[in-house]
């Protein structure tokens, strides 16, 4: 008799799940999720992800019950909890998804020491396993996206796996935890769970994706997939998403490229785990220290509407449009010249899709300490606003105090007549963009920009 544990981590789905699929082939299968104390008590866990995760677990349990099983939920250290079950139920095999963080790899190591067969499924969280591709010129990972993408596109991906029809789960304690209280979630947080994720994926691949190439940067259109939290928690499989996206339209090809960025950042973190906290490529920055400036940025009070709208979207939804993330992050690191780690931690505190690889490596990309081949580029907030929010509709959505402002002034309210400006109750710009650009140029040893 074989008994296999399917240890769910951030692959909280029954469809196209290599871990569950393989474990379900045993005579008995134990679908297990461990609420890991080390994660839930760390600064990485936030109210938004706790709320989303709670929904994911409830939905997963319901799907497993439809198949004759249930989700066993334990609390503690994953390897300890798995060890307890291994001893009590004569477990022969453990299945888990490969992941890239240092912490995930230590967990994998601890599971390997339990004395039963451990199967680590590497095309589960990623479409192309991290570190399976290496540059022809040598090196253990790709540091530049374009050549990575060229290779990534040619990789033969595994087929999409069916959800198991029937599961035989032994009698085990470990009920759903109910709500995972961890502070107050954002008021407009998206709903979690595989059922919602699959509906979103279905409508996206049917309609939204085909316009993606033209609309993905238009802030007010909000025409991106919003699948990032589902990809983070694995309620949608990236392999299935790519399969269903196809490459027939220009939008589908542009979207596929974006999904490759996700794998790209994962392989960088897999190769250089220290870059979660340390510069991937140091520029010898001596970042300014200013709580005042950081708090103005964090609270959406910089006086630059496009930056403030981005930060208020984050607070309201626990999510932010990619273009807004670029603008807000560039403002922190390059305009205010504050350490990218402070900004990354604020995103960790609020983002529902926050992912160590994607968040830290994107922050480093924007700060110019990561993989950007133009590390000193600055996303000027006014130029970005004019280009990606030309009529100010995005700004007005998140900054009600500017809702009635003439579109000609919405990105530069300081140009309004004084009485109108004062009536808004909106702060003046906290920094002069030219001076900030000169400060950044000097810090990086570049020629002044003017
Ligand atoms: C400073 C900064 C921090 C970020 N932090 C995160 C994070 O913690 N988690 C996260 O998933 N994404 C992060 N991103 C990337 C990107 O902003 C989000 O993936 C995207 O906005 C999610 O919305 P969407 O699903 O509608 O994206 P879509 O435009 O629909 O893209 C589809 C998917 O492609 C992937 N993707 C798109 N752009 C990127 C990118 N630049 N890097 C990696 N993957 C990408 C995501 O999985 C996304 O869900 C960050 C970007 C920046 C600039």
Per-residue model confidence as pLDDT tens digits over 317-356:
999 999 999 999 999 999 999 999 999 999 999 999 999 9
- 281 in any annotated domain: no
How many domains is the chain built from?
Answer: 3
- 333 in any annotated domain: yes
If pLDDT is split at 50, 70 and 90, which confidence band does 447 have?
confident
Q: Are residues 358 and 416 in the same domain?
A: yes
Check if 364 has its Cβ closer than 6 Å to any atom of ligand 1.
Answer: no
Check if 47 has its Cβ closer than 6 Å to any atom of ligand 1.
Answer: no
Check if 258 has its Cβ closer than 6 Å to any atom of ligand 1.
Answer: yes
Q: Are residues 139 and 260 in the same domain?
A: yes
pLDDT at 43: 85
Q: Are residues 310 and 234 in the same domain?
A: no
Q: Work out the average pLDDT over 393-397.
A: 98
CA–CA gap between residue 96 and residue 105 (Å, rounded): 11
CA–CA gap between residue 355 and residue 9 (Å, rounded): 13
**Tell me, what CATH number does 396's domain have?**
1.10.579.10
Q: Are residues 438 and 295 in the same domain?
A: yes
User: Tell me: the pLDDT tens digits for 272-285?
Assistant: 999 999 999 999 99
CA 209–ligand 1 middle distance (angstroms) = 15
CA 362–ligand 1 middle distance (angstroms) = 9
- 182 in any annotated domain: no
User: Tell me: the pLDDT tens digits for 70-123?
Assistant: 999 999 999 999 999 999 999 999 999 999 888 999 999 999 999 999 999 999
Q: Are residues 342 and 420 in the same domain?
A: yes
Judge whether 353 and 235 are in contact, CB under 8 Å: no
CA–CA gap between residue 293 and residue 10 (Å, rounded): 35
Q: What percent of the chain has pLDDT over 70?
A: 100
Final residue belonging to a domain, choices 124, 149, 173: 124
**Tell me, what CATH number does 139's domain have?**
1.25.40.80
4 pairs with which residues across the strands? 29, 93
Q: Are residues 309 and 415 in the same domain?
A: yes
Q: Work out the average pLDDT over 238-256.
A: 97
Q: Are residues 200 and 119 in the same domain?
A: no
Lowest-confidence region among 40-54, 107-121, 251-265: 40-54
Which residue among 255, 362, 384 has the greatest number of ligand 1 atoms within 8 angstroms of its CB, and so is best to mutate? 362
Check if 225 has its Cβ closer than 6 Å to any atom of ligand 1.
Answer: yes
- 384 in any annotated domain: yes
Per the structure, the complete domain to which residue 58 belongs is given by: 3-124
pLDDT at 450: 60
Q: Are residues 103 and 131 in the same domain?
A: no
Strands (E), 77-159: 93-97, 117-121
Q: Are residues 296 and 439 in the same domain?
A: yes
CA 358–ligand 1 middle distance (angstroms) = 7
Helix axes 322-330, 381-388, angle to 10 degrees: 160
- 283 in any annotated domain: no
CA 429 to chain centre: 30
Q: Work out the average pLDDT over 177-198.
A: 92
Q: Work out the average pLDDT over 226-239.
A: 98
Q: Are residues 370 and 235 in the same domain?
A: no
**Tell me, what CATH number does 40's domain have?**
3.40.50.620
Q: Are residues 141 and 118 in the same domain?
A: no
CA 397 to chain centre: 23
Q: Work out the average pLDDT over 220-224.
A: 97
pLDDT at 237 over 90: yes
- 285 in any annotated domain: no
Q: Work out the average pLDDT over 351-363.
A: 96
- 348 in any annotated domain: yes
CA 364–ligand 1 middle distance (angstroms) = 14
CA–CA gap between residue 439 and residue 156 (Å, rounded): 48
If pLDDT is split at 50, 70 and 90, which confidence band does 449 have?
low
Check if 228 has its Cβ closer than 6 Å to any atom of ligand 1.
Answer: yes
- 153 in any annotated domain: yes
Final residue belonging to a domain, choices 217, 239, 271: 271
pLDDT at 44: 86
Q: Are residues 303 and 433 in the same domain?
A: yes
Which residue among 201, 257, 358 has the greatest number of ligand 1 atoms within 8 angstroms of its CB, and so is best to mutate? 358
Final residue belonging to a domain, choices 219, 236, 271: 271
């Amino acid at each position: 008799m074989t008994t296999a544990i399917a240890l769910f981590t951030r692959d909280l789905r029954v469809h196209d799940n290599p871990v569950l699929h393989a474990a379900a082939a045993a005579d008995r299968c134990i679908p297990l999720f461990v609420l890991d104390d080390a994660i839930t008590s760390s600064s990485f866990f936030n109210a938004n992800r706790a709320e989303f995760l709670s929904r994911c677990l409830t939905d997963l349990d319901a799907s497993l019950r439809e198949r004759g099983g249930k989700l066993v939920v334990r609390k503690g250290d994953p390897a300890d909890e798995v060890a307890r079950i291994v001893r009590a139920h004569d477990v022969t095999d453990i299945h888990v998804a490969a992941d890239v963080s240092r912490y995930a790899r230590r967990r994998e190591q601890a599971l390997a020491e339990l004395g039963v067969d451990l199967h680590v499924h590497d095309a589960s969280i990623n479409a192309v396993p991290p570190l399976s591709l290496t540059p022809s010129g040598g090196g253990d990972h790709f540091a530049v996206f374009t050549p990575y993408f060229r290779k990534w596109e040619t990789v033969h991906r595994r087929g999409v796996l069916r959800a198991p029809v029937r599961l035989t789960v032994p009698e085990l304690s470990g009920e759903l935890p109910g709500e995972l209280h961890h502070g107050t979630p954002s008021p407009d947080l998206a709903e979690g769970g595989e059922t919602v994720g699959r509906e979103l994926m279905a409508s996206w691949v049917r309609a939204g994706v085909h316009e993606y190439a033209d609309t993905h940067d238009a802030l007010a259109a909000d025409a991106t997939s919003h699948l990032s939290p589902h990809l983070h928690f694995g309620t949608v499989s990236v392999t299935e998403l790519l399969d269903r996206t196809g490459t027939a339209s220009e939008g589908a090809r542009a979207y596929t490229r974006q999904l490759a960025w996700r794998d790209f950042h994962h392989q960088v973190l897999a190769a250089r785990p220290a870059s979660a906290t340390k510069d991937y490529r140091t520029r010898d920055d001596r970042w300014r220290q200013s709580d005042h400036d950081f708090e103005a940025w964090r609270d959406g009070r910089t006086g630059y509407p496009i930056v403030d709208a981005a930060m208020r979207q984050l607070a309201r939804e626990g999510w932010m449009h990619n273009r807004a993330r670029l603008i807000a992050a560039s403002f922190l690191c390059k305009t205010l010249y504050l350490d990218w780690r402070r900004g990354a931690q604020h995103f960790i505190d609020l983002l529902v899709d926050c992912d160590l690889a994607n968040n830290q490596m994107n922050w480093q990309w924007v700060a110019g300490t990561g993989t950007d081949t133009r590390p000193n580029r600055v996303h000027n907030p006014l130029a970005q606003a004019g280009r990606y929010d030309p009529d100010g509709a995005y700004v007005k959505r998140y900054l009600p105090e500017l809702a009635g402002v003439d579109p000609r002034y919405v990105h530069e309210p300081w140009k309004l007549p004084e009485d109108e400006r004062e009536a808004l109750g909106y702060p003046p710009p906290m920094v002069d963009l030219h001076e900030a650009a000169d400060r950044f140029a000097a810090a990086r040893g570049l020629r002044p920009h003017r």
